[in-house]
Amino acid sequence: MNKGWVRFLKYASVGGSTFLFDLLLLYVFIDYFKIYYVLATAMAFGVAVSINYFASRRFVFKGTLRSVHEGYGIFIFIALVGLGAVTGLMILFVEVFHLHYIPARVITAGIVGLWNYFMNLYVNFKVAGKY
């Protein structure tokens, strides 16, 4: 199998795992702590994306020459742009299309997850075509 596809499948596995954790946190924040869904989305996303960085660095984007601190900073910047998209799409899907917050978050994750993958592949870790 092409190494690009293998990397993408690894990213999907890591991202899927951290996304499930994101959903669990989102559920707990909203249904148990009664936090407003937009704020809860941002909080859950923030925790999950940090876990995702370290797992992605170790298992997906091996061979990057960036230091952990520099890479994490760029990763967080990319994630903050992604958070803006996640928050905006959540408002759209929940307020305009009247979806429940869980399916809205799943749809949003698919859209923003691809953008995050390509930004990290080409901009942050710079390992496209390598390893």
| pLDDT value of position 131 | 55
- In this structure, is residue 130 part of a structural domain? no
Please tell me the distance from the alpha carbon of residue 19 to that of residue 117, in angstroms, as a whole number.
14
pLDDT tens-digit profile of 55-79? 999 999 887 888 899 989 998 899 8
Count of domains observed in the chain: 1
Tell me, yes or no, whether 129 lies in a domain: no
The predicted model scores a pTM of 0.83
pLDDT of residue 92: 97
In a domain, 52, yes or no: yes
Asked if 77 and 115 touch (Cβ cutoff 8 Å), the reply is no
∠ CA 82-42-71 to the nearest 5 degrees? Answer: 50
Task: Determine the structural domain holding residue 111 and report its residue range.
Answer: 3-124
Closest CA to 44 of 91, 79, 94, 93: 79
